[in-house]
Amino acid sequence: MNNHLTWALLGLTALLISPVASAQKTTAEGIAEYRAMLADGNPAELYEAKGEALWKQARGPKNASLEKCDLGKGAGVVKGAFVELPRFFKDTQRVQDLESRLLTCMDVQQGLDVVEIAKTRFGAGEQKNIESLVAYISGESRGMKFNLPQAHAQEKLMYEVGKKVFYLRAGPMDFSCASCHSEDNKRIRLQDLPNLTKQPGASVGFGSWPAYRVSAGDLWSMQRRLNDCYRQQRFPYPGYASDVTVALGVYMGVASKGGVSTAPALKR
Amino acid sequence: MTPTAQDIDLATSQAMKSSFRDQGNAKLDRLTLDASNQACSESEGAALEDKLGKAIEEANLKTVKFPADGKLIGNWAEGERVAQSGRGLTWTDSATAANGGSCYNCHQISKTELSYGSIGPSLYNYGKLRGVTDPTAVASKPIVDYTWGKLWNSKAYNACSGMPRFGHANILTEQQIKDVMALLLDPKSPVNQ
Amino acid sequence: MERRDFLHRSGATAVAIAAATGLPAAHAQGAPGWNKAAFESKNLAEAAKAMGATSAPIESKDLVLQAPEIAENGNVVRIGAQSNIANTTQIAFVVEKNPSALAAMFDVPAGTDTNVSTNIKMGQSSNVYALAKAGDKYYYAVKEVKVTLGGCGG
Amino acid sequence: MSDPMRIRAQAQGDKTTVRVLVGHEMESGQRRDAAGKTVPAWFIQSISATWNGKPVMSAQWGPAVSKNPFMQFSFKGAKAGDKVIVTWIDNRGEKRTDEAVIT
């Protein structure tokens, strides 16, 4: 009996304690503290390790690794490749971002069915492998500065197309990328919105993807990030590695020039 | 070799055509731009030329529909629910579920909700600051009507407003807009405490 | 933040948060010695009891709970505890408003610091407790963590 | 097949700090999938670490531990070059062991 009373009292104490919060921080300070606490132990590390193993593993009909894949700095060079993508590739005669370039390599080097991979839903099958690969590849450029090439006419054109697309308002809510990402110091709910049109916002935003997304519990590539932006913009569905998504990558990447890559980062 | 404006326009329209497809609710017709979206896309954030801006605002003002029953103020508690919800119209949303207003994404509204955005101005004390003590009174009519119009079609007052056209674009129902009106203007709403 | 806020959010993620911590019906082949009763407890008192406490835990300043005041996302909240109470052998974390309150418990052998941290899910704003066993007594520290809604909400 | 853990063990003086990241779904058992079907519970129930065969940590987890779990602890007596071995067991009886060399 006595014991019951004690246990009941404990419950009461808990109720009494709860409203007495310690000195209130501002919301922004609170969020900053939350993020700082998580900084150590980013699950993106798990994907980086898996991606490195995948890069070196012989796979596909050709039973080959990706170690001969040219990400723009020569066959097999991973370090520094991420901060120069998207860029023009001579062999495909196209401007490609990291994901579309990986598709090319998985096709040419490994003989995988990349049309099927591009159609696979995010987080499943080979798409899951791509997300690990981009975590590894971007991680190899961590701390390096963005410096996208803009010498080729196609690269210049894609930059201009990306800029147009960034400002294109459409859909039932009249949203464009610029609706949320063209002014400094704006928030959606509690999330800071980087101004992607110039530094430092551009590299803060563009330079943290791929990232481990806490709300999704998964590593998201830039392709997946852009796909969800378009979903929230209420646009129709952008194809995987489609021209619009690559052009946006060029626009944001060029705007990030000189900014430091922190990918794969940890995001809400 | 810098691309010409013509090159850019052509490449952009080709990229848009080749890149998107229908998914769920979200069909390709969503990429057809009306005059406002056309002009505001092209201006890339810069102010529109005066005459063009005015013409767009006038055309949008004509679309504003007031309720047949003349009642503009609903239930603020329902309005709070609409303001909280960011659902609706994405390709993962069902076509039959009620849409939300996503209001807190961009605005501070009730003081108790800490998680609010700052893309739009704070709406805390919206009615109180405008001296609305009785939203049905004649004296309140100008601000009440303006607020209805702003919610129905924001481009009626600002050609390139960043706010969705909740009535005009069938995002919210007439009843939902009445409820959001109450959230903003009812003296009993937490917004006006 | 009200619970309904979570229930109103759409998509699998929101559902995951709302349902963050229910318990499965059966653990036919789980880890040996897993304290099912403790993980079915609904509050601090029940958790302590299921862990072997014979009297109610006592609040202690010598048990330091690290938890953020605000969580940007309830899926991942870093919490830690350091016990400066002599002879601490166990540290646990309890989230009052999760469907099953006990999140994790750590047995700390001699030679290991009585300082652990981990990431937990929180379904909604709640009091979070660190619970430490020292000798045959249980001590606790408490902090309120607010879980906020984030992003576009769709 | 589960993915390898990421184990970091760093010695500073007499104290070794261990950080462990585990690739695991930590499915609560209450979440529904897109089709409305309940996703069965699947979570790590126990995780333990040893150094030179001596237990330095043993924990029990419930489904409220986050997906891709993280754990940090520290212990005394080890030196660089020693091994830390971590093992987890989930509610399906699946098991995994990885090791790291203290740096």
Quick check: D66 and D84 in contact, CB under 8 A? no
CATH superfamily of the C32-147 domain? SoxY domain (2.60.40.2470)
- Told to judge if A229 belongs to the known catalytic residues of this protein, a careful annotator would answer yes
Quick check: B76 and B91 in contact, CB under 8 A? no
What range defines the domain where residue D55 resides? 6-101
Amino acid at D102: I
With both helix axes pointing from N to C terminus, report the angle between B50-61 and B35-42 in degrees, rounded to the nearest 10: 150
Contacts of B26 in chain C (CB under 8 A): none
Question: Is there a domain that residue D61 lies in?
Answer: yes
d(CA A146, CA A136): 17
Percent helix / strand / coil, chain C, rounded to 5: 15, 35, 45
pLDDT tens-place string over residues A224-233: 999 999 999 9
Q: Which chains touch C (3 or more CB pairs under 8 A)?
A: A, B, D
What's the number of domains chain D is made of?
A: 1
Give the residue extent of every domain in chain C: 1-30, 32-147
Instruction: Report the residue of chain B nearest C12, measured CA to CA.
Output: B92
Task: For residue B60, give how far its alpha carbon lies from the nearest alpha carbon of chain A (Å).
Answer: 13
Q: How would residue C68 be classed by pLDDT, with cut points 50, 70 and 90?
A: very high
The secondary structure of C68-135 as a DSSP string is -SEES-TT-EEEEEEE-STTEEEEEEEETTSSS-EEEEEE--TTB-SEEEEEE--SSSEEEEEEEEET
d(CA C2, CA B168): 32
Domains located in chain A, CATH noted: 3-37 (no CATH), 44-268 (1.10.760.10)
Instruction: Report the residue of chain C nearest D77, measured CA to CA.
Output: C111
Task: For residue A219, give how far its alpha carbon lies from the nearest alpha carbon of chain C (Å).
Answer: 14
Burial zone of B117 (CB within 10 Å; 0-12 exposed, 13-18 middle, 19+ buried): buried
Q: What is the pTM of this model?
A: 0.89
Contacts of A31 in chain C (CB under 8 A): 70, 72, 148
Nearest to A82 by CA among A97, A69, A92: A97
Decide if pLDDT at A75 tops 50.
yes
pLDDT at C5: 36
Give which of C63, C72, C96, C97 to mutate to test A binding, by max A Cβ within 10 Å. Answer: C72
Asked if the C-beta of B158 comes within 8 angstroms of chain A's C-beta atoms, the answer is no
Q: What is the largest CA-CA distance in chain B?
A: 65
Decide if pLDDT at C129 tops 70.
yes
What are phi and psi for residue C6, nearest 5 degrees? Answer: -75, -40
Nearest to B9 by CA among A81, D54, A165: A165
d(CA B153, CA B173): 13
The 10 Å Cβ neighbour count of residue A225 is 18
- Give the pairing type, strands D54-61 and D44-51: antiparallel
Domains located in chain B, CATH noted: 24-193 (1.10.760.10)
Closest partner CB to C149 (pick from B87, B90, B115): B115
Question: Is there a domain that residue D1 lies in?
Answer: no
Report chain C's mean pLDDT, rounded to a whole number: 84
Asked if the C-beta of B62 comes within 8 angstroms of chain A's C-beta atoms, the answer is no
Task: For residue A93, give how far its alpha carbon lies from the nearest alpha carbon of chain C (Å).
Answer: 37
Question: Is there a domain that residue D77 lies in?
Answer: yes
- Give the pairing type, strands C63-66 and C77-83: antiparallel
Question: Is there a domain that residue D90 lies in?
Answer: yes
Instruction: Report the residue of chain D nearest A38, measured CA to CA.
Output: D70
pLDDT at A27: 78
pLDDT tens for chain B, residues 1 to 193: 789 999 999 999 999 999 999 999 999 999 999 999 999 999 999 999 999 999 999 999 999 999 999 999 999 999 999 999 999 999 999 888 899 999 999 999 999 998 899 999 999 999 999 999 999 999 999 999 999 999 999 999 999 999 999 999 999 999 999 999 999 999 999 999 9
d(CA A46, CA A62): 27
Quick check: A266 and A211 in contact, CB under 8 A? yes
Quick check: B91 and B24 in contact, CB under 8 A? yes
